[in-house]
Amino acid sequence: MLSSESIDSLLEWGRAARRDLPWRRTRDPWLVLVSEVMLQQTQVDRVVDRYLRFTERWPAPRDLAAEDLATVLREWQGLGYPRRARNLHLAAVQMVARFEGAVPHRYDDLLTLPGIGPYTARAVRVFAYEQHEAVLDTNVGRLLARWNGSSLAAEEAQRAADALVPSSRSWEWGQTLFDFASAVCAKRHPACVECVLADVCPSSELAGTQRDPAVNSAAVSRRQSPFAGSHREARGVVLHVVGARSISARDVAEVAAAELGSDETRVNTALESLVADGLIELVDGQVRLPASRR
């Protein structure tokens, strides 16, 4: 797929162009995990300040595990997908109970923690523990398909990704691919004329077109539905309305519906889903963020 010369060219590009991000200045497994959870479906620019504030407040699993979930959810507001905060809190509790307050390094152990799937487990192993394996996300999946010249199945993509990792440089390689996919080999408007691999890439004239081999390839995400008018938007507004107080379900429905400019049916659906996910509690007609269950 790529020659050793091409891999060296990419690494050289990375040394000059790789972004200086706070989670790249550490190998602390907890800080790496927090960054990976925050970066799921959230842009880097929105994460940086929130990551710094979060990790200063809870610099280790024991610190987060000792905190009320309600406080964690309030701190998370604005990042979206609050299930991530709940799962990170639950994972911290389990790390204290099962792993002496440490983030485990074994892949199978990481997968037993709430909210940690194959991608996040590999990211922790590579970016914290520098294990020799590949981190395959939607951006890397796009690169692999374009370098292959055709779409890849899931197992093919992971095998191809692992095969490209240069010896003893898994951290550098993984971070370089993230930035290369963002800055050069972008989804819609790849800068092929600036690409250090333009002469060897079989997709240099196809990338970004309808014939782009990355379309429908393994690990490459589909376009997300608009946020405005979505169920996600309604859930976020309900959580914001509940905030730090206990409020009646009726008042939540009225205030959130007014903010959304919709009827209360949509709000009540969001309310029910948040209760089901354990992100809010409904007790005697009052809605509140969850009380601690430690």
Residues 6+ apart with CB under 8 A from 291: 68, 70, 281
Q: Helix, strand, coil: what percent of the chain each, to 5?
A: 55, 5, 40
CA 280 vs CA 180, 209, 236, 287: distances in Å: 40, 44, 12, 7
Cβ–Cβ under 8 Å, residues 199 and 5: no
User: Is residue 26 classed as helix, strand or coil in its secondary structure?
Assistant: coil
User: Is residue 88 classed as helix, strand or coil in its secondary structure?
Assistant: helix
Cα gap 28→43, rounded to integer Å:
22
- Structure tokens belonging to residue 154: 């899931």
Q: Name the phi and psi angles at 248, rounded to 5.
A: -70, 150
DSSP run (H or E) holding 181: helix 170-183
User: Is residue 287 classed as helix, strand or coil in its secondary structure?
Assistant: strand
Q: Using alpha carbons only, how large is the chain's radius of gyration in Å?
A: 21
Q: 48: closest CA among 30, 62, 59, 34?
A: 34
Catalytic residues: 36
Q: Name the phi and psi angles at 247, rounded to 5.
A: -140, 150
